[in-house]
């Protein structure tokens, strides 16, 4: 159990740092009027976790610790529900219901589609 917790902690560290760096890069490139950084990170994280579970479904050899490192650790640290909720609230407060609904709906739909695409990619290509 302790070994698994260490894997999760290290994965979370890498995921959190990757999230911060990618979000900052996107914010610098496109601005902060719309939370593109969080959107891209969350959708990309959904795709990554779809790929991981696709690999598992295909019988790719992966220890329980590595699975925990990649899914709970890295993807859990990389994606962020709390930031998504905060930014959704900020959009509602500053830009109105329409932009907030577009962001929330697009985030959910794109995340679901990307998780499915990642899993299907592994199932059908690899």
Q: Which domain holds residue 10?
A: 2-125
Supply the pTM of this predicted model: 0.86
- The model's pLDDT over 113-124, given as tens digits with 9 standing for 90+, comes to 999 999 999 999
pLDDT at 14 over 80: yes
CB burial readout 54-73, b (16+ within 10 A) else e: bbbeeeeeeeebebbbbbbb
Secondary element (H or E) of residue 90 = helix 81-95
pLDDT band at 32 (very low <50, low <70, confident <90, very high): confident
Q: Which two tokens stand for residue 61?
A: 């050899």
**Total structural domains in the chain?**
1
Give the chain's radius of gyration (CA, Å).
16
């Amino acid at each position: 159990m302790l070994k698994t917790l260490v894997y999760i902690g290290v994965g979370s560290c890498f995921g959190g740092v990757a999230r911060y760096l990618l979000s900052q890069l996107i914010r610098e490139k496109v601005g902060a009027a719309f939370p593109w950084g969080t959107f891209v990170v969350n959708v990309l994280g959904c795709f990554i976790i779809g790929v991981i579970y696709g690999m598992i479904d295909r019988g790719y050899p992966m220890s329980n610790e590595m699975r925990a490192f990649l899914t709970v650790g890295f993807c859990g640290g990389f994606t962020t529900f709390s930031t998504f909720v905060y930014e959704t609230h900020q959009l509602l407060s500053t830009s109105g219901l329409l932009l907030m609904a577009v962001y929330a709906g697009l985030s959910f739909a794109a995340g679901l589609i990307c998780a499915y695409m990642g899993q299907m990619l592994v199932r059908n290509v690899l």
